Amino acid sequence: METLEGIEGLARTCYCGEVRTDHLDKEITLFGWVHRSRDHGGVIFVDLRDREGIVQVKFDPSHSTELHAKADRLRNEWVIAVRGVVVRRPADMANPNLATGEFEVVADELRILAESKPPPFLIEDETDAGEVARLTHRYIDLRRRPMLDRFRARHKICAATRRYFDSLGFVDVETPFLTKSTPEGARDYLVPSRRNPGNFFALPQSPQLFKQILMISGFDRYYQIVRCMRDEDLREDRQPEFTQIDVEMSFVTIDDVLDTMEGLAVELFKAVDIEPPSRPFPRLEYDDAIARYGVDNPDVRFGLEHHVVTDLFAESEFGVFRNIASTGGLIKAINAKGAAKFSRKEIDDLTAQVGDLGMKGMAYIKINPDGWQSPIVKFFGDKEKEGLTSALDPEPGDLILFGADADPGVVNRALGWLRKRLAEKLDLINKDKMKIVWIVDFPMFEYNEDNRRWMALHHPFTSPRPGDLDLLEDDPGKVKALAYDMVLNGSEIGGGSIRINRTDVQQRVFRALGIEEAEAREKFGFLLDALEHGAPPHGGIAFGMDRIVMLLTGASSLRDVIAFPKTQKPQCLMTGAPSGVAPEQLVELHLRMTGVAEKDKK
């Protein structure tokens, strides 16, 4: 074990990656990690790394044998301090791949500040280390340049957010982390109260109710970059704790909110040197999005739009389509231009994959120079052929794919996935293009078959469209909401609405959701009380900060833009959380482990 030294008497002159012409022939002091070292003919070269980059340090025995011997003991990831003079490398030894590649530091002093075990994987831009290793040794993974760059981008996005809202007179207000459980969305994370036995706080899924109360309190414009928690099953784009850009505004219409948020989006793009989409961003009604793309978060960088062709087959000789068309089902078609080249196996694979999404099969037609080729064409009459030609404009080389089912949701879900998969196979997605679209005019409710009741599509505090108020009791399925989502390249990055600011309307919405007065009072009494004390018209939005950073940096997973993320379990592999607690802690909290919990621990 080496005798470790301190940094007394030394002060960093610049970062390793910042060494430039201005430093030539000057003495500088650097701190960092040994990225790698090598011995070239008795001269030791050390690549010294910090967050800004790498610079080469030279230990020449002709300059100092003692220093050379000390450098010979260095190993990768040891932490050192170096003092020396910057010189220009010989032209034939310059490294054009490094920003500092023209220079090196001739060391006059070396201090070993900390040793390191051999790292579990190489610290390189591209790593073949598995995710388990990367998350277990996150402190090593975060040393890699792409990871550092993503968090620098995240910092810039946060800073730009604060500058933008501050310039518009918004007030940054912190809302509580320990709050009341109001389970109307995902599961809450619960925190037992030691001082109030048998009672629990909930960690916030969002600051929704608090930001509405801030509007009632007269703050007028609020924002917050805030952590939120949801105890839900995880996917690649979900984490149990995540960060929102949370916003609320008083005395606004939908146009006011959308215009303000478009300004924010432009500033976030600029913060990371990406050309922003031109304003105003296009708006697409929810029903139109479902009809054309099958999803409410369409990627509009490419075509492959859906065409509803149900009516063409109401009297068709093709019995499968006729039965679906005549019983309220849905038939859609996609013209995949140039895809007639797909092999039978490729089409069969796509059919199997849409089958996993609930569709029982997938018919197709290949448009060949000598005519239409398909097992189903023989059932088509002139009406069907003319209608498909008019709707789809097929040309030789195209492939028409059909989705049909008695349940329209199955068709939309399956063809929504198929559209994206076809774009990937046909290389239609310009990865360098950024396109934003607003989705508006959402349904207020969706029917939950399992619970046999209406559920809020966004949340129960969203205002119905004023002209639809009379439908709340009579036909909730037809009520439209003053809600909106911002979608970037097929990913929803923000969602919001104009809120209900009248107690009577809020109570009517609760009743439409099957929430009786006593339950509403128990869960949301503080909001109902506040609404009775002069609530201005107000609306807002929440953006997923993690998802925005992921998309703007090109990361493939949210875990690559969150410093210490959880797995899909969810678990933190680095710290071992969640973990058991001491029995005395449970006693203090008036909790007792159940037999099932004890079994799960083993």
User: Distances in Å between the alpha carbon of 570 and those of 232, 237, 239?
Assistant: 9, 13, 8
Q: Write out 208-260 in H/E/C secondary structure.
A: HHHHHHHHHCCCCEEEEEEEEECECCCCCCCCCEEEEEEEEEECCCHHHHHHH
Tens digits of per-residue pLDDT, 480-498?
999 999 999 999 999 999 9
Range 63-70 average pLDDT: 94
What percent of the chain has pLDDT above 90? 87
Distance between CA 481 and CA 499 in Å, rounded?
10
Which H/E stretch holds residue 523?
A: helix 517-531
Count how many residues are written for the chain.
Answer: 602
Range 224-245 average pLDDT: 89
Model pTM score: 0.92
Encoded tokens for 125:
């831009």
Encoded tokens for 541:
């939005």
Q: Is residue 597 over pLDDT 60?
A: no
Q: Label residue 508 by pLDDT band (50, 70, 90).
A: very high
Q: Is residue 531 over pLDDT 90?
A: yes
Q: Is residue 600 over pLDDT 60?
A: no
Tens digits of per-residue pLDDT, 445-477?
998 888 888 988 888 999 999 999 999 999 999
Tens digits of per-residue pLDDT, 372-387?
999 898 899 889 999 9
CB 146 within 8 Å of CB 129: no
Tens digits of per-residue pLDDT, 396-455?
999 999 999 999 999 999 999 999 999 999 999 999 999 999 999 999 999 888 888 898
Q: Return the pLDDT at 41.
A: 86
Range 505-514 average pLDDT: 93
Domains of the chain, with CATH numbers?
16-114 (2.40.50.140), 302-425 (3.30.1360.30)
Tens digits of per-residue pLDDT, 122-151?
999 999 999 999 999 999 999 999 999 999
Q: Is residue 584 over pLDDT 70?
A: yes
Q: Is residue 478 over pLDDT 60?
A: yes
Tens digits of per-residue pLDDT, 172-202?
999 999 999 876 567 899 999 999 999 999 9
User: Among the residues of 54-144, which ranges form H helices?
Assistant: 65-71, 131-136, 138-141
Q: Return the pLDDT at 184.
A: 59
Q: Return the pLDDT at 344.
A: 92
Distance between CA 515 and CA 522 in Å, rounded?
11
Q: Return the pLDDT at 34.
A: 98
Distance between CA 338 and CA 76 in Å, rounded?
52
User: Among the residues of 168-253, which ranges form H helices?
Assistant: 208-216
* Mean pLDDT value across the chain: 94
Q: Is residue 233 over pLDDT 70?
A: yes
